[in-house]
């Protein structure tokens, strides 16, 4: 009986402990559930705030995108987006107006060949089928895979530049005519005076020969002035044809017979046929040689050699040299340090050389003379001239002043 009572009491205690533990667990679960409810409520609040912030951001981005779309639509230029394979993936309305349709999905090179014609001497500009001129700007985006191309209509700007250049040229022509009138009148009057004396019967043969030489000298001077004026008026537009290089140098050597000092002609050009304007080139070289003679040089040399598809010419003298400040201006039209002259000589030299796609430079030291170097891509190659703008290959370093 005591054993049964003891067992009953033990069961009762265990059951009491179990109920107590159940109550504790229930209380803990209730507290945990309440904590979870509070955490869920807090997270829901944060989520709602984040959602509202994202909605505001999306709204602002949508407004910004609409504004950018309006700007691209109103922009007076064609905007084209290329992918990594140079295919058009997007563009604005002006792109279609400039380049025609279709555009999306086409390779950019195909569109260029179809709608953009090259503009001479302007690698960053193209001509549209309707005649308008556009400039091309190309940049990579931040991902370095896509590119954006901007085509801007510069037709009006080019027209203004052309008109400005024309006005400047007309102004220069007026200045040239005013200067040339005096430069022509003086030698012409001198030539007329000598010619009037040659008809007198009492004039002996020696004087007659001297007067004839003076007349020829004045007429040659007039010829140079008129040739300079004509070349300058053409603005570098010269007719090119084949001619004999050695023949041109022979005619220059004949003109240098009147030089009292030492003249050296060293022609190392093996090919005789060249492409260019013979009269203009001869006039340019004679301008440089006459400048050397008028400067008081006692020794002048003209050396020519082949370099690639061109001819490089060095004209050296032992004259007084040219100051640095004058060297910066001497190729400008109407700039001269002489008491007489139009100031067109060196400007014509530069114009003739540029018309032949070449370059001219000067190296001079006061008291030691000057070296003018001309690089002329005029040797025949296929059917055209060598590429313009080629730099000199250092000829001026090979020719010291004499």
pLDDT digits (tens, 9 = 90+) for 99-157: 888 888 888 888 888 888 887 767 778 888 888 888 888 888 776 678 888 888 887 77
Which of 153, 181, 210 is the endpoint of a domain?
153
Decide: 269 and 243 in contact? Cβ < 8 Å. no
User: Which range is least confidently modeled, 257-261, 297-301, 317-321?
Assistant: 257-261
pLDDT exceeds 80 at position 181 = no
Are residues 164 and 196 both part of a single domain?
yes
Examine the domain organization and report whether 51 and 149 are in the same domain.
no
| pTM for this entry | 0.48
The answer to whether residues 166 and 129 belong to one domain is no
Same domain for 219 and 284, yes or no, is no
- 93 and 77 Cβ atoms separated by less than 8 Å: no
Return the sign of the alpha-carbon dihedral for residues 322, 312, 269, 238. negative
- Domain interval for residue 10: 1-74
Residue 328 has pLDDT above 70, yes or no: yes
More confident residue, 190 or 178: 190
Q: Do residue 300 and residue 388 come from a single domain?
A: yes
Number of domains in the chain: 4
Q: Which CATH number does the domain housing residue 91 bear?
A: 3.30.450.20
Domain boundary among 181, 201, 233: 233
Q: Are residues 401 and 257 in the same domain?
A: yes
- Residue 165 pLDDT greater than 80, yes or no: no
Average pLDDT score over residue span 23-47: 85
Average pLDDT, the chain: 79
Apex CA 231: angle with CA 228 and CA 236, to 5°? 140
Can you say how many angstroms the Cα of residue 52 is from the centroid of all Cα atoms in its chain? 54
Q: What angle do CA 389, 395, 398 make, to 5 degrees?
A: 170
H helix intervals, 334-382: 345-355
pLDDT at 193 over 60: yes
DSSP string, 252-286: HHHHGGG-SSEEEEEEE----EEEE-HHHHHHHHH
Domain closes at, from 233, 258, 285: 233
User: 385 vs 174, which has greater pLDDT?
Assistant: 174
CB-count burial class (<10 Å; 0-12, 13-18, 19+) for 113: exposed
């Amino acid at each position: 009986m005591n054993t049964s009572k003891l067992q009953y009491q033990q069961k009762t205690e265990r059951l009491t402990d179990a109920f107590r533990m159940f109550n504790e667990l229930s209380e803990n679960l209730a507290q945990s559930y309440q904590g979870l409810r509070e955490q869920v409520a807090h997270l829901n609040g944060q989520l709602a705030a984040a959602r509202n912030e994202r909605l505001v951001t999306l709204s602002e981005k949508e407004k910004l995108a609409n504004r950018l779309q309006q700007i691209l639509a109103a922009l007076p230029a064609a905007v084209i987006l290329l992918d990594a394979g140079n295919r058009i993936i997007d563009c604005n309305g002006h792109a279609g107006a400039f380049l025609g349709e279709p555009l999306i999905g086409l390779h950019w090179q195909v569109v260029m060949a179809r709608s953009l014609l090259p503009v001479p001497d302007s690698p960053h500009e193209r001509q549209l089928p309707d005649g308008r001129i556009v400039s091309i700007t190309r940049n990579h985006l931040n991902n370095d895979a896509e590119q954006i191309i901007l085509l801007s209509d510069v037709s009006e700007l080019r027209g203004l530049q052309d008109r400005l250049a024309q006005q400047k040229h007309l102004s220069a022509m007026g200045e040239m005519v005013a200067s040339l009138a005096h430069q022509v009148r003086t030698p012409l009057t001198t030539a007329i005076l000598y010619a009037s004396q040659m008809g007198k019967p009492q004039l002996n043969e020696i004087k007659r020969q001297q007067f004839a030489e003076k007349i020829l000298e004045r007429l040659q001077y007039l010829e140079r002035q008129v040739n300079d004026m004509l070349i300058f008026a053409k603005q570098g537009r010269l007719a090119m044809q084949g001619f004999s290089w050695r023949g041109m140098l022979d005619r220059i050597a004949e003109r240098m017979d009147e030089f009292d000092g030492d003249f050296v002609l060293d022609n190392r050009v093996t090919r005789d046929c060249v492409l260019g304007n013979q009269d203009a080139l001869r006039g340019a070289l004679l301008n440089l040689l006459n400048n050397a003679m008028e400067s008081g040089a006692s020794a002048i040399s003209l050396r020519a050699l082949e370099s690639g598809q061109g001819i490089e010419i060095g004209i050296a003298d032992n004259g007084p040299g040219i100051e640095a400040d004058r060297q910066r201006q001497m190729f400008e039209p109407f700039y001269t340090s002489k008491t007489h002259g139009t100031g067109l000589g060196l400007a014509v030299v530069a114009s003739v050389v540029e018309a032949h796609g070449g370059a001219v430079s000067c190296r001079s030291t006061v008291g030691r003379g000057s070296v003018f170097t001309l690089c002329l891509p005029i040797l025949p190659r296929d059917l055209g001239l060598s590429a313009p703008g080629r730099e000199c290959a250092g000829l001026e370093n090979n020719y010291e002043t004499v």
